[in-house]
Amino acid sequence: MAPAHIRHVLLLVVTTLGCGTPARSTHSLRVSAEPRTRNAREVLTGPEFRTIHGRSTLDVIRELRPEYFLRPVAGAYNASDDGLQVYLDGIYQGGLEALQTIPASVVLEVRYLTPSAASDSYGPYRRRGAALAVRTRE
């Protein structure tokens, strides 16, 4: 068996090698100001909007993504329930009625945000609930 001091040196060398700089990854880290999306159904894009002509944003969303109006547990939103918040280009607009005033032709994207993601993106100061982030410009 090796003397104790040699074992300690070997242990120190092995430990030091393990703490060295990590190997470079071929993957790059993407950082975005946009909320992370769990699946493609959470984003409704402009080209999808163009398939429905001459309607309000509310009508198009109801037709293409009716699940946006469902609560995970408690049932469905109704038109008088402002639990679903609407943000237009990052500015709070109110409840669902705000979607009736936005022409579908100007929409680039609608993103569904869970209550947690809405709070992270827009702050915890508004009524708690899911949000629809409508983007009309780049």
Query: What is the spatial distance between Cα 71 and Cα 9, in angstroms, rounded to a whole number?
Result: 61
pTM above 0.85, yes or no: no
In a domain, 27, yes or no: no
Query: What is the spatial distance between Cα 17 and Cα 23, in angstroms, rounded to a whole number?
Result: 12
pLDDT over threshold 60, residue 12: no
Which backbone phi and psi does 133 adopt, to 5 degrees? -100, 110
Tally of domains within the chain? 1
Q: Please report the pLDDT score of residue 83 as a whole number.
A: 75
Contacts of 56 (CB under 8 A, 6+ apart): 99, 100, 101, 102, 103, 104
Query: What is the spatial distance between Cα 100 and Cα 91, in angstroms, rounded to a whole number?
Result: 16
In a domain, 130, yes or no: yes
Q: State pLDDT tens for residues 40-58.
A: 688 998 888 888 876 789 9
Percent of the chain at pLDDT > 90 equals 28
CA nearest to 61, candidates 80, 74, 79, 75: 79
Q: State pLDDT tens for residues 69-94.
A: 886 544 444 443 447 899 999 999 99
Note down the domain range covering 105.
38-135
pLDDT over threshold 60, residue 24: no
Helix ranges, the chain (H): 4-18, 46-49, 57-64, 115-122
What mean pLDDT value characterizes the chain?
Answer: 74
In a domain, 14, yes or no: no
In a domain, 116, yes or no: yes
CATH number of the domain residue 115 falls in: 2.170.130.10
